[in-house]
Amino acid sequence: MAVLPTLPKCPSFTIFSSSSSSSSSFPSYRTTSFWCCATTQSQVAVVNGRSDGEISQRNEIRLGLPSKGRMAADTLDLLKDCQLSVKQSNPRQYVAEIPQLSNLEVWFQRPKDIVRKLLSGDLDLGIVGLDTVSEYGQENEDLFIVHDALEYGDCRLSFAIPKYGIFENINSMNELAQMPQWTVEKPLRVATGFTYVCTTELALTFSFFLLGTIFLHLLFLAIEFRLSLYQLGPKFMKENGVKYVTFSTADGALEAAPAMGIADAILDLVSSGTTLKENNLKEIEGGTVLESQAVLVASRRSLIQRKGVLDTTHEILERLEAHLRAVGQFTVTANMRGSSAEEVAERILSQTSLSGLQGPTISPVFCKRDGRVSADYYGIVICVPKKALYKSVQQLRAIGGSGVLISPLTYIFDEETPRWRELLAKLGL
């Protein structure tokens, strides 16, 4: 029998959500649809037909990359910069290869499906935003973040409220929580696309309806198997003391919800803040639930059990690290007159911007004068960050440097990376 991935236990959390909330009257927005979410999970499990701990029988290693959207192009660019260009014979083809990595298949998928397929065992590795891992990964222990900072796709998952009306003077989560407007009957309505159901905790809800003041009728007793709500948002609201809150889901253009009267606040990704500003919304102090950027994520089971996944992950990680370290760094070479390498080193290290990564490399430049070979000059090589480049050149000149050559760096391979050591330690290898 198929077994669902391990689900984390959410703290029990009372959310005053009801299907009679105003959002239900708008077809593009829907209130909490527990059954729908539950079905999605079961489908994943049934499709897999595998229990936790097992991996599927296939030989090739599979890497999932975003097929569309804002992560797609940047992901391909990053891999190209790491000399791991993806070869796709046709843009409509969802499978591709990276010739440098043997036995690896690239599968283009929607970001959320990459996470789902890592969980189901249909992918071994993937590159997506941390927000997508948090939302669709359900904190499942099988998901292993191999590299947590690929330095693109930066955004944050934040609460935003209108700049006007009752929110005009509200500027922090604390102030939002203190607003007297939110009650059991009229909770704060939050629209969000981050709606993953996180726990199978069942809540029995008895609904009594009062008709007028004369007739008190129990119209019906509804038992709702309420798969206690959304993960990131509710947890965050609880931590911030917002007691009365209801969440509704929407697929896009969330920023319209407050102005349309569908929600009081939204929980969505923010990057430049332009969309919020254009829709008269504002972020508030303490309202960021998660900072996100692109990450490399792996299935723990695949890393341990599937032949070659660990080695391939090591190579990808090394190339990523080496490339990301090199971004924005330049190699500076120059000649400098001096009596010895030590004396030249003294002069260089007296300057603040010339210490390089581990210190300057200094080599004698030999020339023949009057039939004698001697080293009056020394060639120096240092790495300099882009922002300190001009200052470094000035400092080099000031201590007698000449013939300064500057070239960009492709890779900086250092000793074994801390991330790799951490990965091995966490896997118990």
Ligand X SMILES: O=P(O)(O)OC[C@H]1O[C@H](OP(=O)(O)OP(=O)(O)O)[C@H](O)[C@@H]1O
Ligand Y SMILES: Nc1ncnc2c1ncn2[C@@H]1O[C@H](COP(=O)(O)OP(=O)(O)OP(=O)(O)O)[C@@H](O)[C@H]1O
269: contact with ligand X by CB under 6 A: yes
Q: Which residues of 237-269 are buried (b: 16+ CB within 10 A; e: fewer)?
A: bbebebebbbbbbbeeebbbbbeeebbbbbbbb
Smallest CA-to-CA distance from 313 within 127, 142, 161, 176 is with 127
Smallest CA-to-CA distance from 318 within 408, 409, 420, 428 is with 420
| 3-state secondary structure at position 320 | helix
Q: What is the dihedral of CA 114, 121, 148, 310, to 10 degrees?
A: -130
- Collect all residues with Cβ–Cβ distance below 8 Å to 279 and sequence separation of at least 6: 255, 256, 258, 259
List 268, 318, 356, 378, residue binding ligand X (CB under 6 A): 268
Burial-class residue 218 by CB neighbours within 10 Å (0-12, 13-18, 19+).
exposed
Q: Which residue has the tokens 């798969």?
A: 227
Instruction: Print the binding letters for residues 181-220 with ligand Y: x by CB under 6 A, - otherwise.
Output: ----------------------------------------
Instruction: Print the binding letters for residues 144-183 with ligand Y: x by CB under 6 A, - otherwise.
Output: ---------xxx----------------------------
Q: Provide the β-strand partners of residue 60.
A: none
The whole-angstrom separation of Cα 276 and Cα 298 is 33
Residue 163 identity (one-letter amino acid): K
153 binds, among ligand Y, ligand X, none (CB under 5 to 8 A by kind): ligand Y
207 binds, among ligand X, ligand Y, none (CB under 5 to 8 A by kind): none
Q: Which stretch binds ligand X (CB under 6 A): 13-21, 168-176, 247-255, 326-334?
A: 247-255
Query: CB–CB of 83/101 below 8 Å?
Result: no
Q: Which is nearer to ligand X, 142 or 255 (CB)?
A: 255
Q: Which stretch binds ligand X (CB under 6 A): 26-34, 45-53, 181-189, 269-277?
A: 269-277
268 binds, among ligand Y, ligand X, none (CB under 5 to 8 A by kind): ligand X
Across the chain, how many H-helices and E-strands are there?
Answer: 13, 16
115: contact with ligand Y by CB under 6 A: no
List 271, 280, 339, 374, residue binding ligand X (CB under 6 A): 271
274: contact with ligand X by CB under 6 A: yes
List 11, 49, 69, 99, residue binding ligand Y (CB under 6 A): 69
274 binds, among ligand Y, ligand X, none (CB under 5 to 8 A by kind): ligand X
Q: Which is nearer to ligand Y, 134 or 353 (CB)?
A: 134
Q: Which residue has the tokens 């911007």?
A: 353
List 97, 131, 255, 321, residue binding ligand Y (CB under 6 A): 131
Total number of residues that touch ligand Y (CB under 6 A): 14
- Collect all residues with Cβ–Cβ distance below 8 Å to 405 and sequence separation of at least 6: 332, 333, 334
305 binds, among ligand X, ligand Y, none (CB under 5 to 8 A by kind): none
163 binds, among ligand Y, ligand X, none (CB under 5 to 8 A by kind): none
28: contact with ligand Y by CB under 6 A: no
Q: Which is nearer to ligand X, 134 or 312 (CB)?
A: 134
Total residue count of the chain as it appears in this document: 429
Residue numbers of the site for ligand Y (CB under 6 A)? 69-71, 111, 129, 131-132, 153-155, 252, 269, 271, 292
Residue numbers of the site for ligand X (CB under 6 A)? 252-253, 255, 268-275
